[in-house]
Every structure is written in C-alpha cells, then in structure tokens.
C-alpha cells in the first residue's frame, strides 16, 4: 500500500514536468513556427535548430537567416579543409574543390577541419558550423539532403573552436570525423560544404541579431571508383 501511495503521489509531478517540457518554445528562426488547428484551438509547433538549410526549411544557405557581418572575411587566413582521417592527406584539388573517390560499398572517414590562422589583431571565432548538402535536394521530398545513393553519419555540426590536430598548431580550429559510403545505386555527385565562423548567440526570434559570423562555401565532388 505504501508503494502504491508513493507512485500515485509522483504521477502529477511527472505529468506537470512533461507538459512544461512540451510547451517550451525555442524559436531562433520564426519561419519554422507553424500554427495548426486542433478542435478549433491554435497550437504552435516548435522546430529544432540547427539546421535550417534544406531540412527544416527550403533555405539555400546559412545567410538566408544569419547575417554575414563578421570580422573573418579574409579568405587567405580562413582554413576549410577535408582530410583523409587515416593518412591526414587533403582531398583539395588545384582548383580549390575537394574530390573524394570511394568504391561502392566501402566506407571512408574524412575529417572536416575549419578555422582561422592565429591573428593577434582580431579575436578568433568562438564556434564553427558546417553542412554538407546536395543543393538539388533542397525543396524535394528526400529526407536526406546528402547526395542520393550515398550514406553518411555526420553531414553537419556546430562545434566550439579548440580542437587540436597535427599541422594546425598555429590555428584556431574545429575538427570532426564524418564517414561516407556509396551504396549500390550511388553515382558521382557534387556537394556544397557550407561553413560559418561565428561568435556570440543569435537572438530568439531574430537570427540576424546577436551573432556575428562569416559565410564560406566550398565544392565537394563525390566519385564512385
């Protein structure tokens, strides 16, 4: 009887906690808020952020929502690289694009390295955000916005600066692995690597305010061997 009484006493607390959690609104991007009619009541649905580009909305890139107003516009000091995780060799080509070649069914893990060369004249970015996306999938019904026929485990991230990697001792960077695999129906594809170097926090309801950042874009080619 004592156990039953304890269980019955805790149920209201659990229900209240769940209702508060469900009712929490986190609208960094107001365009993700939709009102739905249910029994003549207006109920708002909150969508998680990130990512906005192509998944939660049909935005083409990061600056559809965020301001491109940071102090890190100098491309010569910006580091955007894609490395083979095992050999640490860059996939960068002479034209600035990246070429990743993999046999069907095989997996390859790459490192996305993003940051800035150390510069005493300006402060370093605090957080880097990036997204690999096939622009042809934006606005389609495809659940994955990565290249069709290719599997991937981590196509996007938002990470605090401060990772360590040999060869980048004089830079403030983030580095994170991503594993990709061409499936049986995979074809050569061309991806965008969208990057933002940022500092500060966006204001709720207005992603143009509060956070400063600079947007960069690179082309990544996936090729089936």
Q: Does position 10 have pLDDT exceeding 60, yes or no? A: no
Q: Does position 202 have pLDDT exceeding 80, yes or no? A: no
Q: Which residues of 194-209 are buried (b: 16+ CB within 10 A; e: fewer)?
A: bbbbbbeebeeeebee
Q: Does position 7 have pLDDT exceeding 80, yes or no? A: no
200: β partners: 211
Sign of CA pseudo-dihedral 6, 7, 8, 12: positive
Q: Determine the pLDDT at residue 63.
A: 67
On the 0-12 / 13-18 / 19+ scale of CB atoms within 10 A, 224 is: middle
Q: Does a cis peptide bond (omega within 30 degrees of 0) precede residue 50?
A: yes
Q: Which are the contacts of 66, defined by CB distance < 8 A and separation ≥ 6?
A: 196, 198, 202, 207, 208, 211, 213, 215
Q: Does position 5 have pLDDT exceeding 90, yes or no? A: no
Q: Determine the pLDDT at residue 68.
A: 81
CA dist 168 and 118 (Å) reads 10
Mean pLDDT across the stretch 3-10?
52
CA proximity to 196, closest of 51, 31, 96: 51
Q: Determine the pLDDT at residue 45.
A: 34
Mean pLDDT across the stretch 17-32?
43
Between the two ends of the chain, the Cα-to-Cα distance in Å is 68
* Higher-scoring residue by pLDDT: 152, 21: 152
Mean pLDDT across the stretch 154-182?
95
Q: Does position 156 have pLDDT exceeding 50, yes or no? A: yes
Q: Determine the pLDDT at residue 132.
A: 96
Domain residue spans in the chain?
Answer: 2-43, 61-224
CATH of 61-224 given 3.30.70, 2.30.30, 2.70.50, 1.20.1050: 2.70.50
Structure token digits, residue 33: 């808020």
Structure token digits, residue 21: 């959690």
* pTM score: 0.74
Average pLDDT over the chain, rounded to an integer: 80
Per residue in 55-70, pLDDT (tens digit) is: 667 777 776 677 788 8
Q: Determine the pLDDT at residue 52.
A: 59
């Amino acid at each position: 009887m004592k156990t039953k009484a304890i269980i019955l006493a805790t149920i209201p607390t659990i229900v209240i906690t769940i209702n508060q959690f469900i009712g929490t609104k986190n609208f960094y991007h107001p365009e993700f808020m939709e009102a739905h009619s249910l029994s003549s009541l207006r109920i708002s649905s909150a969508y998680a952020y990130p990512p906005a580009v192509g998944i939660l909305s049909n935005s083409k890139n990061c600056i559809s929502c965020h301001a491109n107003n940071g102090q890190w516009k100098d491309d010569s000091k910006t580091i955007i690289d894609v490395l083979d995780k095992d050999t640490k060799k860059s996939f960068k080509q002479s034209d600035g694009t990246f070429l990743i070649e993999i046999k069907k069914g095989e997996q390859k893990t790459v490192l996305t390295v993003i940051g800035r060369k150390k510069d005493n004249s300006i402060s370093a970015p605090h957080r880097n955000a990036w997204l690999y996306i096939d622009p042809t999938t934006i606005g389609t019904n495809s659940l994955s916005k990565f290249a069709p026929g290719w599997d991937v485990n981590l196509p996007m991230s938002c990470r605090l600066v401060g990772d360590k990697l040999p060869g980048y001792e004089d830079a403030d960077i983030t580095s994170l692995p991503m594993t990709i695999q061409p499936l049986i129906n995979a074809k050569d594809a061309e991806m965008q690597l969208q990057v933002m170097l940022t500092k500060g926090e966006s204001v709720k309801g207005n992603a143009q305010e509060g956070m400063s950042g600079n947007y960069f874009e690179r082309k990544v080619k996936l090729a089936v061997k």
